[in-house]
Structure 1
Amino acid sequence: MKISIITVVFNAKKTIRETIHSVLSQTYANIEYIVIDGGSTDGTIEIVKNYGNKISKFVSEKDAGIYDAMNKGIALTTGDVIGFLNADDFYAGSSVIENISAAFQRYEVDSVYADLEYVEQKKIENVVRFWKSSSYKKGAFKRGWHPAHPTFFVKKDIYSRYGSFNLSYKIAADYELMLRFLERYQISSHYLPYVLVKMRTGGESNKNVLNIIKANIESYQSWKDNGLPVNLFMFMLKPISKVFQYFK
């Protein structure tokens, strides 16, 4: 099984080495690693190029935002399974992809996901939030639940059948995609009950109150766009469920 990993990056000179290293240090051999750069000007491009053919495909050009770049990456993949690792993130260990592949083959599912830790920007040993997920049950999104997207690995065939990221969403396209796959089309999934990804704090959807509000508005819209029944009360549960992630 070939696993395609996509990293989308723009001006991440300080963290991109660690992200790339966490992929290249994986024990699993059959990895296709694709890096999509949005036209960085801070030296990121030079860092990526230094890895030569250790990176399967590298594209650097202007894009219409992070989800447009992710879609470019999906279009370039040749693997059986696709996962994303953001330029501020890194895998929790060297056997992450090995465990992902084993889960797909053992449980014969369309998707696999796990837990995630948010860590401080500079002191990555300090965990500030622990995103513990759980096995998916139909209707779980109504209770404010959804997987941590950086841990969400999906068969390429699912993208071919049900589409990639919807670019009309600027902040919550990852939420919409997971809602579409899991709730609307009911793809099969398996949950791994341990941390696979460590994410530095400061993501786009949570960096300020305005973006949190925008993300919730887009999340609400995604239900309507997918023809799923929705009410505003559901989106009170989403932030409430995240409060407990600060207490491990």
Structure 2
Amino acid sequence: MPSPRVSVVTPSYEQADYLPDNLASVGRQRYDDVEHLVLDGGSDDGTVDLLEEYEADATHDVWWRSEPDDGQSAAINEGFERATGDVVGWLNSDDVYFDTTTLARVASWFDRTDADVIYGDLAYVDGRSRVTEIDVRPDFDRAKLGYRIVVGQPATFFRREVVDAERLDTDLDYCMDYEFWIRLSREYDVRHVRDVLAGFRRHEAQKTDDAAPVNAEVESMLQRYRDELPEPRNVVVDNAATELRRLAASAAETVGLRRDPPTLAFDGDFAPLTEMLSNLGPGADDVAKALRRWRT
């Protein structure tokens, strides 16, 4: 049986500082059948030059455009429509695939499971492209979606038929992924795989850095699904136990990766082990978010 074709959809706007790592992380994949679609919103920061060079040098299929559009969700939806792969990933322009065999492992995960959607674990990457934390995600549990985002978006992949049938809500500016997971989980098999697949970039220019509009949109969105999701307070105790297990798993994964590091797919490196271990666990913002969700 031939290996599945993997399409990667990347929305982009004014991300020339971080886009090179994104492009490299796809271009360096040791996998034969890759398609990368980059949908740029008309950037004037040098992005077009980067994309022209990327397309010229690529040994895999590259399609891109740079023109004004209707925002991130609309761009991703366009990418879903254009994608020709059997498996489709969504990788924002400031995020990266973790190592050079990520897509080969993704294809293998789909071969071994009948899941419609898989998501793996995340590495957090700072503005200098250092891996500062490993986040082992919890196994999928729809009941927890009213309380927290279970799925790590950059490490998520879909079978072709999912993105053929479903689209992001273009009325949402910040939590389109969160709403997408809730909606998909109504009828699709969503499954976690224990594997660090992607790096999520944390930097000051992120559009989610301003918490107030993000929180307002999330709370409004969740109201749509209150009748079908358990009340957050009903899963708090169970979630605390899940977090403790995740913390232990993340610590073990961190030590293992520092002891035997993979070949990263982007121009980055690992922070010192002591720093990575000190970053594990929920921060103050995570606790505040959980308390706010519980009170709501």
CA drift of 1:73 comes to 0.7
Gaps of 5+ in 2: 251-278, 282-296
What amino acid sits opposite 1:193 in the alignment? R
Residues 1:9 and 2:12 are matched in the alignment: yes
CA drift of 1:50 comes to 1.1
What amino acid sits opposite 2:50 in the alignment? I
Gaps of 5+ in 1: none
**Aligned length in residues:** 239
Residues 1:132 and 2:136 are matched in the alignment: yes
What amino acid sits opposite 1:89 in the alignment? D
Of 111, 123, 126, 1:120 maps to 126
CA drift of 1:217 comes to 1.8
Equivalent in the alignment of 2:182: 179
Separation in structure 2 between the aligned mates of residue 28 and residue 90 of structure 1, nearest angstrom: 16
CA drift of 1:222 comes to 4.4
> Does structure 2 conserve the Cα–Cα contact (< 8 Å) formed by 1:33 and 1:56?
yes
For 1:56-67, list aligned pairs within 5 A.
56-67=62-73
Instruction: Look up the SS of the partner of 1:51 in the other structure.
Output: helix
> Does structure 1 conserve the Cα–Cα contact (< 8 Å) formed by 2:146 and 2:229?
no
CA change 1:75–1:231 in 2 (3 A) is same
4+ residue segments displaced more than 6 Å: 234-237, 239-245
CA change 1:116–1:218 in 2 (3 A) is farther
For 1:17-32, list aligned pairs within 5 A.
17-32=20-35
Equivalent in the alignment of 1:102: 108
Separation in structure 1 between the aligned mates of residue 233 and residue 218 of structure 2, nearest angstrom: 11
Can you list the C-alpha shifts for 1:2-40, whole angstroms capped at 9, x where unaligned?
111011111111111111011010011111111100000
For 1:194-233, list aligned pairs within 5 A.
194-202=195-203, 203-205=206-208, 207-223=209-225, 228-229=228-229, 231=231, 233=233
What amino acid sits opposite 1:115 in the alignment? D
Question: Normalising by structure 1, what TM-score?
Answer: 0.85
Instruction: Look up the SS of the partner of 1:170 in the other structure.
Output: coil
Equivalent in the alignment of 2:280: 247
> Does structure 1 conserve the Cα–Cα contact (< 8 Å) formed by 2:143 and 2:229?
no
Separation in structure 1 between the aligned mates of residue 39 and residue 136 of structure 2, nearest angstrom: 29
Of 28, 43, 46, 1:43 maps to 46
Separation in structure 2 between the aligned mates of residue 44 and residue 194 of structure 1, nearest angstrom: 31
